[in-house]
Structure 1
Amino acid sequence: MKTERVADTDVRYRRSGDGDLAVVFVHGFLDDQYAWDRLISRLTTPGIECVTLDLAGCGDRDTADGPYDYDQFADEVGAVVDALDKPFVIVGHSMGAAVAELVAVQRPDRVRGLMLVTPVPLAGVHLPDEMIEQFRSLGGDADGQRGVRDQLSVAFPEAELDRLVATGRRLRPEVIRALADCWNTGHPLGERTSAYPGPVLIVRGEGDGFVTEDMVDNAIVPHFTATTAVSVAGAGHWAHIEQAAEVATRLDGLLADALGSEGVPAANSTRPQGWTNAFAQKSADAFGEAFTEDVVLEASILTRPVEGRDQVKKVMGAASAVYESLRFTRETVNGPRTYLEWEAAAFGGLPIEGVTILTKNADGQVLRVAIHHRPLGAALRFSAELRTRLAGEIAADHFHQS
């Protein structure tokens, strides 16, 4: 572990590990960079360097000058990323998730992934005055800060709870007011679809009463083009602390995609970032690396399975091009099977929903895909469209006849 400073600033950052891919962590409201230590200690991905820092006004920089807003924080974290001068994955918690997104948007050539842990929307939460005032007035109030953490957590380790309450108590009241206004008001870029096109992993604690399931579904997932949203049992708003091992496993998966099969960061222009991002690319080749040679595709839009990597690639590439929009709303992993719930639109806004089940081998490649579409009318129309698009490439009797 070593600490370095961004030239001509008071921004210091810690570096641990040695690799060609940096993993940069951005803490949330009232927290500090050490809140990530439980998660970092449980990561198993080789070839990465983990980097943490305190935002202005927080942690060891509690006397730093403002302004304490998203643009200032993105400039600080961005300066650290630039000093590292290597490809990176960025991870943000709560308020820090918005900062992480802004940094990713500004560096599309080097960012390889974005992980948002119990994120607040970049557009802001917009609590009414009486509710946001409860957060704005937490300066110097250790009991109040402990109460907020107790209310929004499920399994906060007592020692870490005590440490973070002591950390938060040091923050100046004017800083806390500014931070609360920052995440409550949001940033103008939050009002439109994110300019970051790469893979986004959203991790929410099931017991989080602040970043709710509805908030993720309606304000976070639609903001991006290639998302996977997962819920962590036994966790609240600080999932990375409450269930550090589970969240580390999720991050290891994102890092494996970012590093690629050769164990080195792949170029953004050519590297497909897993199953969900293959849909965003709408290319048959984007699915290829995920499949075994003898992969089998079953689907409610098919009358019989399609077999073999080349054939399945063609079907999946054509199918992804039919969708006008598609977002993955839930993910559950049970042994070799991954269950993905999704919502899509096609044919001028016709809604389609479904569940995809991926069965993987020991190397993580997909050997069987089962896709269930609904409603029936939309599934039949989708099948007919694929039969037309794949004429001469996939036998017509694989599809339903109109």
Structure 2
Amino acid sequence: MSDLHVTRLGDHGSPVVFCHGLFGQGRNWTQIGKALAADHRVTLVDMPNHGRSAWTDRIDLVAMADAIVATLDEPTALVGHSMGGKVAMLAALRHPELVSRLCVVDVAPVAYRESDEFGRFIDAMLAIDLGALTSRADADAALAEAVPDPGVRAFLLQSLRREGDAWGWMSNLQVLRRDLGAIRGWPDDVAGTYDGPVLWIGGGASRYVRDEHRAAMEALFPRVRRATVKGAGHWVHSQEPAIVTELLTRFLAD
């Protein structure tokens, strides 16, 4: 897989790599990354098919995990949200010698049931006539019916970039739409355990981390500790950055 675009913050301390979720970019973690950079060497990664990283012809969580590991040259703490959390878990399971500790944010090592939500988001994004687009506000209005939450729309529109007079999406929407099943899924042939420390952060109002997922998590990550952020939804780190920063600060200092 092609090289990944990264942003580095901080010049001393232990290394920490952040893996964002679907539709995101490394910069989604900038606020928290900057807060940790006083004591850690922080790397914010644009995942494949997102941001400024290369596009591929298919979505493969294992290949993405190996691409993240290829950026590591010493044991490193991995932090991953949603899709990035699955990638970080697979990286730890496949290359435990290079993962010093793991933080998984609002996702579990399970195959989720099919949902129309993300597919609806992508369909609405693809339906925008970029050639006729005159402003970001027009794009926001075009998404309003399919994506009624203004915060989610703002997040999705971070991937809309203008270069000269041309607008384009920084996410590989066609492939992401086709391969949503791979992102929702979990590889069948995952073996072994990761025996390092694991922090599992979930949003109290999110459906992605439930009590029924605990057995699957503990089977693969026996040293897992769970923290629930009350009132937060799936994008926990965006909704409650101060709480997530505090949780990570303590976890990385243990």
Question: TM-score when scaled to structure 2?
Answer: 0.78
Superposed displacement of residue 202, structure 1: 0.5
Q: 1:59 & 1:73 partners in 2: Cα distance? A: 14
Classify the secondary structure of the residue corresponding to 1:59.
coil
Q: 1:133 & 1:118 partners in 2: Cα distance? A: 19
Which residue in the other structure is 2:136 paired with?
none
Corresponding position: 1:220 with 2:182: no
Question: CA separation of 1:44/1:15 partners in 2, compared to 1, >3 Å: closer, same or farther?
Answer: closer
2:205 alignment partner, one of 204, 207, 216:
207
Which residue in the other structure is 1:174 paired with?
174
Question: CA separation of 1:149/1:43 partners in 2, compared to 1, >3 Å: closer, same or farther?
Answer: farther
How large is the Cα RMSD of the aligned pairs? Answer: 3.0
Q: 1:173 & 1:125 partners in 2: Cα distance? A: 20
2:51 alignment partner, one of 50, 59, 64:
59
Q: Which consecutive segments of 4 or more residues in structure 1 shift more than 6 A?
A: none
Which residue in the other structure is 1:236 paired with?
233
After TM superposition, list the pairs within 5 Å mapping 1:25-64 onto structure 2.
25-43=18-36, 46=39, 48-61=40-53, 64=55
After TM superposition, list the pairs within 5 Å mapping 1:210-289 onto structure 2.
210-257=207-254
Which residue in the other structure is 1:140 paired with?
126
Which residue in the other structure is 2:184 paired with?
184
Q: % of aligned pairs identical?
A: 27
Corresponding position: 1:96 with 2:84: yes
Q: 1:137 & 1:107 partners in 2: Cα distance? A: 36
After TM superposition, list the pairs within 5 Å mapping 1:327-366 onto structure 2.
none
Superposed displacement of residue 30, structure 1: 0.9
Superposed displacement of residue 218, structure 1: 4.8
Superposed displacement of residue 70, structure 1: 0.6
Q: 2:84 & 2:17 partners in 1: Cα distance? A: 11
Question: CA separation of 1:201/1:29 partners in 2, compared to 1, >3 Å: closer, same or farther?
Answer: same
2:65 alignment partner, one of 74, 81, 86:
74
Which residue in the other structure is 2:100 paired with?
112
Question: CA separation of 1:87/1:148 partners in 2, compared to 1, >3 Å: closer, same or farther?
Answer: farther
Gaps of 5+ in 1: 1-7, 258-402
Q: Which amino acid aligns with 1:175?
A: V
Relative to its length, the structure with more strand (as a share) is 1
Q: 1:28 & 1:80 partners in 2: Cα distance? A: 18
Superposed displacement of residue 197, structure 1: 1.1
Corresponding position: 1:150 with 2:143: no
Q: Which amino acid aligns with 1:94?
A: S
Which residue in the other structure is 1:16 paired with?
9
Superposed displacement of residue 224, structure 1: 2.0
Classify the secondary structure of the residue corresponding to 2:159.
helix
Question: CA separation of 1:138/1:117 partners in 2, compared to 1, >3 Å: closer, same or farther?
Answer: farther
Between 1 and 2, higher relative CO (CA 8 Å, sep ≥ 6) is seen in: 2
Corresponding position: 1:122 with 2:109: yes
Gaps of 5+ in 2: 128-138, 161-167
Whether the 8 Å contact between 1:139 and 1:176 is mirrored in structure 2 is: no
Question: CA separation of 1:79/1:66 partners in 2, compared to 1, >3 Å: closer, same or farther?
Answer: farther
Q: How many residues get paired?
A: 233
Classify the secondary structure of the residue corresponding to 2:31.
helix
Q: 1:23 & 1:147 partners in 2: Cα distance? A: 36
Classify the secondary structure of the residue corresponding to 1:29.
coil
Which has the larger Rg?
1
